[in-house]
Amino acid sequence: MSMEIEFTDDNFEKEVLNSDKPVLVDFWAPWCGPCQMMGPIVEELAKAMGDKAKVGKLNVDENGETAQKFAIMSIPALKIFKGGKVVKEFVGVQAMESLKGELEALA
């Protein structure tokens, strides 16, 4: 049972860009209402995907370099990475099932 990962400027390259599995990154901030709604969904998704994919969150306030690199304008922003590239992007609260479907298609 996988838990969600806390992505940071320091581990982003290793955990996300160099991952051999698809990775879902939830770009969020503690003050963002919709991000709070997305939190439990991301947690549930991490458990549901297990070892098939990595699922985690990146706090944009604490990791501005990565947030800037991926031009995060509004949050929550969810991006799915595969092979070091963004392959899918979503903005706003998403349903767990649709995110799971996207990740399974890439796993």
37 is catalytic: no
Annotated catalytic residue within 24, 35, 42, 46: 35
Q: Is 35 a catalytic residue?
A: yes
Catalytically annotated residue among 8, 9, 29, 32? 32
Q: Where are the beta strands (DSSP E) in the chain?
A: 5-7, 23-28, 54-59, 77-82, 85-91
Environment class of 71 (CB within 10 Å of its CB; exposed 0-12, middle 13-18, buried 19+) = exposed
Q: Give me the active site residues, please.
A: 32, 35
